[in-house]
Amino acid sequence: MAEILNFKQKRGDTFSLPIDFGQDITGWTVFLTLKKNIDDLDAAAVITKDITSHDDAAAGDTTVAMTAAETSNLLGTYYYDIQYKDASANVVTLIDGTIQFDKDITRRTS
């Protein structure tokens, strides 16, 4: 069962979530999908990431991240999930929830 994690974030900020699987994840793909509406097709997602290059695959460490440029125009509530496909092609939803993007005060960094 997926863990539900809800985040609050400022638009235009970098979002970074380190994940420790506690086992070798060589050959695994980690997926991030961010949607405005939960029922949108993946093709209509605001952000999609397929992570195949991990921080330390043998130790099970990876990071799911969105850049400041990717979040700069987001405002309101978005739905996300993080899934992985292991070397045996098993697909598992690890985390899902919402990310609330609030207005930021400083915009000159963009």
pLDDT in tens, the chain (110 residues): 678 989 999 999 999 999 999 999 999 999 999 999 999 999 999 999 999 999 999 999 999 999 999 999 999 999 999 999 999 999 999 999 999 999 988 877 76
24 token code pair: 């070798």
- Measured between alpha carbons, how far is 25 from 28 in angstroms, rounded to an integer? 5
Q: Residue 108 has what pLDDT?
A: 78
Domain ranges of the chain: 3-102
Q: Residue 102 has what pLDDT?
A: 97
- Architecture of 3-102 per CATH? Sandwich (2.60)
Query: What are 65's strand-pairing partners?
Result: 16
Model-level pTM? 0.90
> CA distances (Å), 41 to each of 47, 73, 81, in order?
12, 20, 13
The gap from C-alpha 54 to its chain's centroid, in whole angstroms, comes to: 14
Q: Residue 17 has what pLDDT?
A: 95
102 token code pair: 């609030």
Q: Say if residues 102 and 8 touch (Cβ distance below 8 Å).
A: yes
